[in-house]
Amino acid sequence: MDVFADIGLGVQTALSLHNLLYCLLGVFLGTAIGVLPGLGPIATIAMLLPVTFGLDATASLIMLAGIYYGAQYGGSTTAILVNLPGESSSVVTALDGYQMARKGRAGAALATAAIGSFVAGTIATVIIALFAPPLAEVALKFGPAEYFSLMVLGLVASVVLAHGSLLKAIGMILLGLLVSTIGTDVNSGSQRYTFDIPEMADGISFVVIAMGMFGLGEIIRELEHESTRSVLMTKVTGLMPTKEDLKRIVGPIMRGTALGSLLGILPGGGAMLASFSAYSLEKKISKNGAEFGKGAIEGVAAPESANNAGAQTSFIPMLTLGIPSNPVMALMIGAMIIQGIQPGPSVMTEQPALFWGMIVSMWVGNVFLIILNLPMIGLWVKMISIPYRVLYPIILAFCGIGVFSVNNSTFDVYLMALFGVMGYVFSKLECEPAPMLMAYVLGSMMEEYLRRALLLSRGDAMVFLERPISLTMLLLAAAALAMVLMPAIRNKREQAFAEEE
Amino acid sequence: MASFIRDPKDFLSGLMFLGFGGTAIFLGQDYEVGRAIRMGPGYFPLLLSGLLCLVGAACVIRSLTRPGEPIAGLAFKPLMLVVVSTLVFGLLLRNAGMLAALAASILLSSLASSKFSLKAAALTIVLLSAFCYLVFLKALGLPIPLIGPWLGG
C-alpha cells in the first residue's frame, strides 16, 4: 500500500533533527503561552506566527501545529490548577479538573489530561493518515463551482455551530469577505479600497487582523473585568494516577476520542464542540454520573481526549480541501499562503514531504507534550502565577513587534490598533469576530472561484445548482441554516450554549 | 436610546453593517462591475456590500421587534490606553528605536490596569528590553534600530 511509503516519507521528514527541533520548540512555546490565563490557542498562534516566517514551509507548519496543541494542553493545565480556562475548549475540563485539584488530586488530573490527549492524538493521527488522501483525491476532481459551494458550506456550517445570533454572524462573514477584497485586484490590477495608501496595495495582512481582534481586543476585554480575577493556586502532588484511576479512564478516553475525531472534521466543529459533547455523553452513561462536577476523573479524561482528537482531525478539511473548520485552521491556512503554498488538495501531491511530515509530526508533538508537560509542571505553575497586570503589557509589546516584523511596516502596527478597537466593539455588540477571520482568509479564493465558475458557465449562475456535488453542498448549507431557524432546534441550541457559560 | 428600539445591540450592529456596506458601495462606485461572465473588479465587492446592507437592514428591523439586553458601557480607559500605547509603539519603533518604543508603550499600557505599580512597570521594561534585544535583534536579526535617529542613534 502507498500509505506506508507515504508515512515513511512523513517519518523521515518529521524525524529530521531540524524539524524535530522546531516541533519541540513549538510545543514548548505553545504550552508556555497557552498556560497563561486569558490566552487561548488563537491568540497564542497569532502572536507566535511571525516567529515562524523565517523558517522553510515544512518546519514552520510543523512548529505552528506544535504551538496549537501545546496551547491547547497548556489551557487545560490552567483550567485544572486555577479554574481559569484560557479557551472555550477547556471550560469543561475546569469543571471536574479544578474540583480534583481542590481535593489534592491535581497531579492525577494533569496526568489524566496528558494521557488522554496522548492516546487521542495517536488515534487521530492514524485517522488523518487514512482519511486525508482519499478525500484529497475526491477534491482534486472539484471544479471552481464545487469549490465555491464548498466554501459557502464551510462558512455557513461554522456559523451554525458557533454561538450567538445567526444574522449577525452572517453579517460578520460578509464583512470579512469584503475586507478581503481590499488591495490590488489580481485580474484587472486595479486598486480596491486602498485610499491610495501604498501599504494597502497588497491588502491587509491577516496577521494584523488576527492580532488586532484576538490579541488587542481580548486584552481590552480582560482589563474590563480585571477585578474579578482571582488566582488561587493549588499544590501539585502525586502525578501518577492509581490503578483504579486508570481503569476508570479507559472508557471515557476511547469514547472521547471517537466523538472528538468525528466532530473535529465537521466545519465549525473542532476542539470546543468536541469537549462539550464528550463531557455530556460521559455524564449520561457513566456509572459515576453523580460524581460529575465534584471531581470525577472521567470528567477530565473524556473532554481532554475529545478536544485533542478534535483539534487534530480538524486538520483534515484544512489539509485536503483548503477549508478552515475553525479560526485556528484559518490561521494555519493564512500561514500556508504566506509561505507561498496554495492550500487545497494539491498540497498532498505537490508537497508530499510537507503533508506527511506534518501528519507524523503531530504524533511526535504528542510525545513531546507528554514528556515535556509532566516533569515541567513546576515551570508552568510559575508561569500561571504571573499577574495579568504584568502580563498584558508584554503581550502588547510582542504583538507590536510581531506585526511589524511581517512586512517591516509601521503602518501595520497602526492598522492592528484599529482592528483592536473593532474587535472590542464587535464583542460589545455580540458580533463574533471568528467568522469574520475565517471569511477573510477564504475571501480571495472565493472570489477567484466564483469568477472562474461563471466564466466557464458563460455567466449562468445556475451552474452552482446544475452540478450535482455543488448542488449537494448548497443544499446541505441551506439545510443547516433551516435547522437553526426552526424553533424547536433553536431552543435546544440556545440551551446547549447556555450550559457552556 | 430611543424607546422604540428594543434590542440596542442588534440595532447598533445593524447600523454598523449598513455603514460598512454603504461605505463600500460608495467607495466602489467607480470600480468596473462587468457582467457575470467577465467579472470586473467591482463585481464581488458590490455583491458583498449589497448583501451586507440587507443583513444590516434586517438587524435593524429585528431590533425593533425583538427585545434584548442593553449594551454594557465601554471601558474607555483600557480602550484608549491600549490603543494609544500601540500607536506610540508604532511611531517610536523606527524613529526612536526599540528601547524607547518598549519603554513608552509598556508604561502607557500598564496605566490601564487598576493595580498599576510603577515599580512593576519599570522592572518589566528592563527585563523585556533585554529579552527583546537578545531574541529579536541578536537572534532573529529584525531590522529594528536599538536606538533610533530621534535619539541620535
pLDDT in tens, A370-387: 888 778 888 888 888 888
pLDDT, position A500:
46
Which chain A residue has the Cα nearest residue B122?
A: A390
In whole angstroms, what separates CA B3 from the centre of its chain? 31
SS3 annotation, A284-331: HHCCCHHHCCCCCCHHHHHHHHHHHHHHHHCHHHHHHHCCCCCHHHHH
Is there a contact between A389 and B110 (Cβ–Cβ < 8 Å)?
A: yes
Angle at which helices A468-485 and A144-161 cross, to 10°: 20
pLDDT, position A37:
75
Give me the interface pTM, i.e. the ipTM.
Answer: 0.95
Radius of gyration from C-alpha coordinates of chain A = 22
State yes or no: pLDDT of A230 exceeds 60: no
Following DSSP, what letter does each residue of A420-461 receive, concatenated? Answer: HHHHHHHHHTT--HHHHHHHHHHHHHHHHHHHHHHHHTTT-T
Name chain A contacts of B10, Cβ cutoff 8 Å: 165, 168
Angle at which helices A106-140 and A352-373 cross, to 10°: 170
Question: Among residues A97, A10, A47, which one has the least CA distance to residue A365?
Answer: A10
Adjacent-strand bridge partners of A184 = A191
Measure in Å the smallest separation between the Cα of A168 and chain B Cα atoms. Answer: 7
pLDDT, position A480:
84
Name chain B contacts of A447, Cβ cutoff 8 Å: 44
HSE of A487 in the Cβ direction (CA atoms, 13 Å)? 0
How would residue A492 be classed by pLDDT, with cut points 50, 70 and 90?
low
By residue range, what is the domain housing residue A81?
2-500
- Residue A272: which H helix or E strand, with range? helix A271-285
pLDDT, position A501:
42
Cell digits for B65? 421587534
Residues A452, A481: Cα–Cα separation, whole Å: 26
State yes or no: pLDDT of B58 exceeds 90: yes
Phi, psi angles (nearest 5°) of residue A192: -120, 130
Nearest Cβ partner for A223 among B45, B62, B112: B112
Across the range A421-427, mean pLDDT stands at 93
Query: Exposed, middle or buried, A418 (CB in 10 Å: 0-12/13-18/19+)?
Result: middle
Residues A88, A76: Cα–Cα separation, whole Å: 10
Question: Among residues A449, A405, A325, which one has the least CA distance to residue B132?
Answer: A405
pLDDT, position A85:
67
Q: How many residues does chain B have?
A: 153
The pLDDT mean for chain A works out to 85
Q: Is the pTM of this model over 0.90?
A: no
pLDDT, position A426:
94
Cell digits for B61? 428591523
Name chain A contacts of B42, Cβ cutoff 8 Å: 192
How would residue A280 be classed by pLDDT, with cut points 50, 70 and 90?
confident
pLDDT, position A120:
92
pLDDT, position A35:
86
Residues A468, A71: Cα–Cα separation, whole Å: 40
Residues A429, B16: Cα–Cα separation, whole Å: 10
The tally of domains found in chain A comes to 1
**The amino acid at A414:** Y
Name chain A contacts of B39, Cβ cutoff 8 Å: 187, 450-451, 454-455
Contact between chains at A393 and B10 (C-beta distance less than 8 A): no
Contact between chains at A428 and B128 (C-beta distance less than 8 A): no
Nearest Cβ partner for B128 among A170, A397, A416: A397
